[in-house]
Chains A and B, each alone.
Chain A
Amino acid sequence: MSGIPDLTALADEAIATIAAAPDLEALEAARVRFVGRKAPLTELLGSIGSLPPEERGRVGKDGNAARRAIEDALTARRDALEADAMGAALEADTADVTLPGNAFPLGALHPITQVALEVEEIFLGMGYSVADGPEVETGFNNFTALNTPDGHPARSESDTFFIEGGDDILLRTQTSPVQIRTMQSGPPPVYVIAPGTVYRRDDVDATHSPMFHQVEGLAVDEGLTFAHLKGTIEYFLTRLLGDRDVRVIPHFFPFTEPSVDVSVSWTDRNGRTDWLEVAGAGMVDPNVFANVGYDPERWTGFAFGFGLDRIAMIRHQISDIRLLYEGDLRFLEQFS
């Protein structure tokens, strides 16, 4: 019937017009023209009732399909135009991203604390506890019980700080008295480390400080031998300082026997490799066990001590120990 427009052609024309709409205004005009209230398609669909019954089905179906196609085209074109508009707006909203971003300040733990924490982590992982003891100590715990008798030069006023009003009370010169306190507090087995502050009566210079830091380690158990000491130290040092050679050479300490000096291979700034002494260690002397009431025939053990300042200085290539104690933020903030 000639009164019915060619729906396919109409839809094609509408879709072409919509696709060509340069902006939202033109798009709205196209919408009014093709699917508005007065649009021929709208009117056709509104007048389906007046069509002959045999045509109503076809016209209804085709007309609605054309309308949906046109509306889909409208939506697609609107989305595209809006995206273009947003893109243009965003492009115009320029920023110099190389300017500094908002700063979130981060302070630094002291390099000695950082080393101590790492040491603690390594030994916690092996099953050691972290023990502690007072810095104002008795001469017994700091010296006598550790096989350093009265009259030893280390116990003199020139080497050790003593406390007024105390009978042989002193600032501990090593973390080793924590060994004594730990063993006095309970029976073996014992696996502890004890980081802490120690004091020796040295004048301050680039390599000496009257206050510094150590980590003590103590293991007492059945069947512990020098081989265990060596294995523990090698494991610990390579975890802390990286894969490098570890050397032990015999030495003397009053409270261990055999005793060793522990060194690691180290390459300095000039590329020279040498042994660097980092720790003292040894098998706990039977006299020390006797002093704390452990049976030296049943229990054996080993002890070791590291200088935390020294390890921090080696790691960070700090040449002057005084920097560690000055609270200078130019120094401290380098370690965040």
Chain B
Amino acid sequence: MKLPLEWLREHVAVDLDDAALADRLTATGTAVERTVTRGIPMTQGNRESFRIGKVLTAEQHPDADRLRVLTVDTGEDAPRQIVCGAPNVAAGQTVAVALPGAVMPGGQKLGKAKLRGVESLGMVLSESELEMAETSDGILVLGDDLAAGTPVVDVLPPPGTILELELTPNRGDCQGVYGIAREVHAITGAPLHDLDLTLPPEAGAGQVTDYVSLRVDAPDLCPRYMARVLLDVKVGPSPGWMVRRLEAAGMRSINNVVDVTNYVMLLTAQPLHAFDLDRLAGPAIVVRRAGDGERIVTLDGQERTLTSEHLVIADAEKPAVIAGIFGAEFAEVSDGTTRVLLEAATFDGPSIIRTSLGLGLRTESSARFEKGQPTDLPPVAMAIACRLLAELAGASLVPGALDERAPEESPAPITLRHDRVAAILGIDIPPAEGAGILERLGCTVERDDDAHVVTVPWWRTADLVREIDLIEEVGRVHGLDRIPGVLPKLEARASLSPQQKVVRRLTRYACDQGLSEAITYRFVPEADADRLHLPADDERRRVVRISNALSDEMAVMRRSLIPGLLRAVERNQAHQRRDGGIFEVGRTYVPAEGGLADEPEEITAVLFGAPGARGWRQAPADVDVWAASGLGIGLAASVGVHAEAVAGVKEPWLHPVRQARLTAGGIVVGVAGEVHPAVLKAFDVKGPVVAVTLRIPALTQVGPEEPRRYVDLISVPVSARDLAVLVPETVTAAHVLDVAREAGGDLLQRAEVFDHYAGDQVPEGQVSLAIRLTIAEPGRTLTDEEIDGVTERAVAALRDQVGAELRS
């Protein structure tokens, strides 16, 4: 809201300067977003740079029809030559002059100029250049009694400061200048002047009921409807002071009648509406819900279709206003209007919000009604508006008012316990100070030893309802910034959950492997399921769907982190990044009952190209399935889970055979492999790309394991035996090791593949595997026979169970 301080100061005699007042307002919760100054800026030197001048001579410019060359006495040693383009300039005038170096309203600095070859050592000013008016036709001509050289700021109105306020939604009462004046009174103690609510003399003939009837069919949406009739209205321009205030507050002047309604709204926060009484059928006012499909042509010329959700102010036949929001063309006050019906009403806030959102119409009026206005406010605004219409438009007020008001309970007084103030705020504010604050806010306070009994003024009954609301007010006005901070004394009893610990370790490990963490949008296109080649009946096609998504690209909640990361790879490749590793930890969303979701977390990493350190003697290899499985097993190991790669899974988005399931303790913890080339194509990504996904709930379930028991393989000899075996290529390494381990028994501590070879020297259809057996028993030295026994049993089992042939 734009608040002209000159207007505010008319209602509250505050002696703080503009900046101090702005600070005090901010500190008490009426946030000043910006301070705008109109008129001559009060910067250093500006006082001397704007002077009264006397035009001594005015000659035609030799080379320009529209310019005059003046000599102006500005109270200096010699007159100044100034070139001026204003049509009304003439010798003998007293004018306002800005000298070179002046900082103009708006902030630009005036310099010397040469206009069509003639030097100009200053500028003769118009009202608009001084920000005294929006437009002006020529220079400002002042009274001749002013002496040349007098500072302009001494004779013209002081610069106008406008505060742009950010009001909180609970303070509907502050949406008018007078509401802020009350607030300033409360926070500074400055005297507040009462509003003059005397009606003009009731000069019109008859009674208001002789002119118009009122029926309120929807009291639930219109708690109060008040109307008066004014005759002999002369529509015309508004006086300058009113136009300036309207403009300073951000509104445009229309005509004196409309301006009065806007002016009173800006002052009191009560929107008003003026009808041309002669255009109303009946003449009648009917406050009712619109019929479904009923139409109205609003002031902007648009035809709008209404529903029974919308409240309208209608005449006997048709809607004349979308209540509280926007009027129809036909009933507006125009130049020919002589009889005016003036409305001051209150409307249901939520209904105004729904209508305003539904029709996409938000006005100064609807913004005020949204917050709900007290039903005591309409007569206040009505009185001021009637008086102004009588003064400015010569209107005669018809005796009596139409006034329909739904019954309301008057709110009960609130008990404010002194100890409760301290219990919430943490400081002792003396009860007398609290009472003083509340009284300045307009409350009536009955003081007592343990508590005050507080009656709230009508303009605050919406937001001051409970004891806590009063404590907030006392704290706010006293100054929350004055309450010293202390730390609570609490026993430390916190630790991270197992899942939180798992996530921390996983992310740390991934970074240590050179991958960087991304966060991608969790709403994704539904087409991702197709891009991932999920079969039609795949469970992962069930998604949580957003009903009001911003776009198809953000339509459903993700079931997998893969698409988001592939899109990230695509973006990276688009700027010539060939290699890299990215991971993300985050939730996936599985539809559950009633539209809710299960949200299991996963970590997914993608590697593309040949990531890793590339240097003058290091050349990382292109990623492949083993890069993925190795990373997956490493990630699992970082959280104490010993995972194995198992062949034979068919994840549709991965290469059909170059993929592995990662299992631990009989539980599937994830999957790793090369991303299917068709999937890469669907995401516009260049291969090779591999991915690994680990399910965090599964990792948390499997590990971290119990603390390991120490195994004494230190004080005893540990023997290693290497075997080279030829096995059919269809036999997996994991199976070979399983067979060896099974046969080797307890003495076989480890069996691992350390080489894999196919090609020359190896028969077609077979591969050569080199296996290292580590043999020992904790705490005991084995005999040669025992060691050889383990090896022999392993070899025999491999021969018998997988057809392995020992190579010499």
CB nearest to B463 among chain A residues: A252
Q: Does B494 sit at the interface, judged by CB under 8 A?
A: yes
CB nearest to B170 among chain A residues: A252
Q: Does B491 sit at the interface, judged by CB under 8 A?
A: yes
Whether A136 contacts B596 by the Cβ 8 Å rule is yes
Min distance, Cβ B114 to any Cβ of chain A, angstroms: 34
* Chain B contacts for A169, CB-based, 8 A: 594-596
Mark contacts of B515-530 with chain A using CB atoms, 8 A cut-off: 1 yes-contact digit, 0 otherwise.
1111111110000000
CB nearest to B466 among chain A residues: A286
Whether A258 contacts B510 by the Cβ 8 Å rule is no
Q: Tell me the complex Cα distance, A255–B484, Å.
A: 23
Also in contact, A167 and B516, with CB within 8 A (given A100-B616, A130-B496, A227-B426): no
* Chain B contacts for A285, CB-based, 8 A: 468
Which of these, B468, B485, B612, contacts A231 with CB under 8 Å?
A: B485
Also in contact, A332 and B582, with CB within 8 A (given A201-B548, A234-B485, A248-B480): yes
Whether A165 contacts B546 by the Cβ 8 Å rule is no
Q: How many residues of A contact B (CB 8 A)?
A: 93
* Chain A contacts for B515, CB-based, 8 A: 107
Contacting A at CB under 8 A, from B102-126, are none
Whether A227 contacts B427 by the Cβ 8 Å rule is yes
Which of these, B476, B548, B614, contacts A250 with CB under 8 Å?
A: B476
* Chain A contacts for B548, CB-based, 8 A: 157, 161-162, 201
Q: Does A134 sit at the interface, judged by CB under 8 A?
A: yes
CB nearest to B26 among chain A residues: A249
* Chain B contacts for A179, CB-based, 8 A: none
* Chain B contacts for A335, CB-based, 8 A: 516
* Chain A contacts for B354, CB-based, 8 A: 151
Which of these, B171, B488, B514, B582, contacts A105 with CB under 8 Å?
A: B514
Q: Does A326 sit at the interface, judged by CB under 8 A?
A: yes
* Chain A contacts for B427, CB-based, 8 A: 227
Min distance, Cβ B418 to any Cβ of chain A, angstroms: 14
Q: Does A33 sit at the interface, judged by CB under 8 A?
A: no
CB nearest to B518 among chain A residues: A327
Q: Tell me the complex Cα distance, A164–B492, Å.
A: 42
Also in contact, A224 and B29, with CB within 8 A (given A105-B513, A108-B516, A329-B582): no
Q: Tell me the complex Cα distance, A128–B572, Å.
A: 39
Min distance, Cβ A328 to any Cβ of chain B, angstroms: 6
- Segment of A5-13, A62-70, A86-94, A110-118 in the binding face: A110-118
* Chain A contacts for B493, CB-based, 8 A: 127, 129
Q: Tell me the complex Cα distance, A324–B568, Å.
A: 12
* Chain B contacts for A324, CB-based, 8 A: 519
Mark contacts of A316-336 with chain B using CB atoms, 8 A cut-off: 1 yes-contact digit, 0 otherwise.
000000001111111011011
Q: Tell me the complex Cα distance, A219–B485, Å.
A: 15
Q: Tell me the complex Cα distance, A249–B477, Å.
A: 11
Min distance, Cβ A239 to any Cβ of chain B, angstroms: 12
Q: Tell me the complex Cα distance, A165–B556, Å.
A: 13
* Chain B contacts for A104, CB-based, 8 A: 613
Mark contacts of B22-44 with chain A using CB atoms, 8 A cut-off: 1 yes-contact digit, 0 otherwise.
00001111010000000000000
Q: Does B301 sit at the interface, judged by CB under 8 A?
A: no
- Segment of B573-581, B717-725, B770-778 in the binding face: B573-581
Which of these, A161, A226, A286, contacts B483 with CB under 8 Å?
A: A226
Whether B424 contacts A226 by the Cβ 8 Å rule is yes
* Chain B contacts for A251, CB-based, 8 A: 29, 31, 168
Q: A interface vs B, CB < 8 Å?
A: 99-100, 102-110, 112-113, 117, 120, 123-130, 132, 134-136, 138, 151-153, 156-158, 161-167, 169, 171, 189, 191, 197, 199, 201, 203-204, 210-211, 219, 221, 223-235, 247-252, 257-261, 283, 285-286, 300, 324-330, 332-333, 335-336
Can you pick out 29 interface pairs between chain A and chain B where the beta carbons lie within 8 Å of each other? Answer: A109-B517, A124-B494, A124-B495, A127-B491, A138-B596, A152-B350, A156-B357, A162-B547, A163-B544, A164-B595, A167-B594, A191-B490, A201-B550, A211-B523, A225-B422, A225-B423, A227-B427, A231-B487, A231-B488, A234-B485, A251-B29, A258-B424, A258-B425, A258-B476, A327-B518, A327-B571, A330-B572, A330-B577, A333-B516
